[in-house]
Amino acid sequence: MTMKNMMLDNKWQQLTDGTKTVKLQILNMPVRYAECNTAPGDSSPFFTLQPGLYEAGPEISYVRADMQSAFIVVAEKIAP
């Protein structure tokens, strides 16, 4: 399982590429999450995810900090 840390700010960062599912742990602050083919705009709809453990993908998705910087851990899920 490949794991990486991401520090999020107010810019959208791609989380999933449309081919893989990931486990996502939000550690300290709420995170905005959107599913779309290109980076969302400022007025695009999004879900607010609170600190916790989530699963995302395989659709293309993006994340960004909700208000302040947010720290997340992402692990690629291995297919059975």
SS3 call for 34: strand
Q: What is the pLDDT of residue 77?
A: 79
pLDDT digits (tens, 9 = 90+) for 58-75: 999 999 999 889 989 999
The CATH code that applies to domain 3-76 is 2.60.120.10
Q: State the pTM of this model.
A: 0.89
Sign of CA dihedral 4, 51, 43, 7: negative
Q: Which residues of the chain have pLDDT under 70?
A: 1, 79-80
